[in-house]
Structure 1
Amino acid sequence: MRFLIHHLLYALTLLPQISAEIPSHTLPLLTSQDPSNLLAPPPQPKKQSHHTLVSTALYDQDSIDSWPDYFDHLDEDGLAPLTKEVQKWIWERQNPKEEECEGGRFLVTDGWASGLGSAVHVIGHHLGSALEDSRILLYNPSSSGAGSLYADPGCNRSSPTTTFDCFFRPLSTCSHAHALSSPDTTHVKTSHAVPRPYNGAPTYWRERLREELGEGLTDAFIKYWWRAQSAAYVMRLNGETAREVRALRMEEKRQKVWTREGEVSGMPFPLPGGVVGMHVRHGDKGHEMNLVPLETFMQAFHTLTSQNPLHFRSHAFISSENPSVIASASHLPTAFAPSTPAFPTTNLVIYTTDIPRINTSPFEQLNRFGKSRMTHFWLLQMMMQLECSAWIGTRGSNWNRLVDELRCVWVDRCAGVYVEVGSKGDWGEYNW
Structure 2
Amino acid sequence: MRPTVGVKGKLMTHYNANHRRWWRAQALRYLTRFPSEYLCNLLNQERHRAFGEEAAKLVLKTLSTEWPLARESNPMEELVWSGYGPWMPQPLLSIHVRQGDKAREMEVVSFDEYMKLANVLRRRFPHVRNVWLSTEMQNVVDESKEYKDWNFYYSDVPRQVGTIRMTEYMALLGDKQAFDTAFVNLVMAADCDFFVGVLGSTWSYG
Q: What band does the TM-score fall into relative to the shorter chain? A: 0.5 to 0.7
CA apart distance, 1:238? 6.2
Whole-angstrom CA distance in 1 between matches of 2:139 and 2:46: 22
* Aligned amino acid, residue 323 of structure 1: Q
CA apart distance, 1:292? 1.3
Does residue 1:377 correspond to 2:145, yes or no? Answer: no
* Aligned amino acid, residue 272 of structure 1: P
* Aligned amino acid, residue 120 of structure 2: T
CA apart distance, 1:234? 4.8
| Alignment gaps of 5+ in structure 1 | 1-76, 80-216, 258-264, 334-346, 403-432
Alignment match of 1:271 (pick from 88, 92, 96):
88
Alignment match of 2:152 (pick from 350, 370, 373):
350
Alignment match of 2:146 (pick from 331, 337, 346):
331
CA apart distance, 1:350? 1.9
Q: Residue by residue, what CA displacement relative to the aligned partner does 1:12-47 show, whole Å, maximum 9, x if unpaired?
A: xxxxxxxxxxxxxxxxxxxxxxxxxxxxxxxxxxxx
Q: Tell me what 1:319 maps to.
A: 134
Is the 1:281–1:291 Cα contact (8 Å) retained in structure 2?
A: yes
CA apart distance, 1:218? 8.1
Instruction: Please tell me the root mean square deviation across aligned C-alpha atoms, in Å.
Output: 3.0
* Aligned amino acid, residue 387 of structure 1: D
Alignment match of 1:367 (pick from 168, 171, 176):
171
The aligned length equals 165
SS in 1 for 2:200: coil
Whole-angstrom CA distance in 1 between matches of 2:155 and 2:27: 28
Residues 248-327 of structure 1 aligned to structure 2 (within 5 Å)? 248-252=45-49, 255=50, 265-266=53-54, 269-309=86-126, 312-327=127-142
SS in 2 for 1:360: coil
Q: TM-score under structure 1 normalisation?
A: 0.34
Whole-angstrom CA distance in 2 between matches of 1:219 and 1:285: 20
CA apart distance, 1:250? 3.9
Structure 1 237/385 Cα, relative in aligned 2: closer, same or farther at 3 Å?
same
Q: Which has the higher contact order (CA 8 A, sep 6+)?
A: 2
CA apart distance, 1:367? 1.4
Structure 1 237/290 Cα, relative in aligned 2: closer, same or farther at 3 Å?
farther
Is the 1:319–1:381 Cα contact (8 Å) retained in structure 2?
A: yes
Structure 1 366/235 Cα, relative in aligned 2: closer, same or farther at 3 Å?
farther
SS in 2 for 1:400: helix
| Alignment gaps of 5+ in structure 2 | 4-13, 57-85
* Aligned amino acid, residue 155 of structure 2: T
Q: Tell me what 2:70 maps to.
A: none
* Aligned amino acid, residue 27 of structure 2: S
Q: Tell me what 1:145 maps to.
A: none
CA apart distance, 1:295? 0.2
Is the 1:297–1:392 Cα contact (8 Å) retained in structure 2?
A: yes
Q: Residue by residue, what CA displacement relative to the aligned partner does 1:268-298 show, whole Å, maximum 9, x if unpaired?
A: 8533332211000012111001111110011
* Aligned amino acid, residue 146 of structure 2: H
Structure 1 382/230 Cα, relative in aligned 2: closer, same or farther at 3 Å?
closer
CA apart distance, 1:389? 0.6
Alignment match of 2:25 (pick from 223, 228, 236):
228
Is the 1:271–1:387 Cα contact (8 Å) retained in structure 2?
A: no
Structure 1 308/355 Cα, relative in aligned 2: closer, same or farther at 3 Å?
same
CA apart distance, 1:232? 2.8
* Aligned amino acid, residue 226 of structure 1: W
Is the 2:21–2:205 Cα contact (8 Å) retained in structure 1?
A: no
Whole-angstrom CA distance in 1 between matches of 2:204 and 2:38: 21
Is the 2:24–2:205 Cα contact (8 Å) retained in structure 1?
A: no
Q: Residue by residue, what CA displacement relative to the aligned partner does 1:88-118 show, whole Å, maximum 9, x if unpaired?
A: xxxxxxxxxxxxxxxxxxxxxxxxxxxxxxx
Is the 2:97–2:135 Cα contact (8 Å) retained in structure 1?
A: yes
Is the 1:280–1:393 Cα contact (8 Å) retained in structure 2?
A: yes
* Aligned amino acid, residue 348 of structure 1: W
Whole-angstrom CA distance in 2 between matches of 1:251 and 1:383: 15
Whole-angstrom CA distance in 2 between matches of 1:387 and 1:245: 15
Q: Any runs of at least 4 consecutive aligned residues in structure 1 with deviations exceeding 6 A, and if so which?
A: none
CA apart distance, 1:225? 2.0
Compare CA radii of gyration and give the structure with the larger one. Answer: 1
Q: Tell me what 2:83 maps to.
A: none
Q: Tell me what 1:154 maps to.
A: none
Residues 154-303 of structure 1 aligned to structure 2 (within 5 Å)? 221-234=18-31, 239-252=36-49, 255=50, 265-266=53-54, 269-303=86-120
Residues 99-114 of structure 1 aligned to structure 2 (within 5 Å)? none
* Aligned amino acid, residue 379 of structure 1: F
Whole-angstrom CA distance in 2 between matches of 1:219 and 1:374: 30
Q: Tell me what 2:76 maps to.
A: none
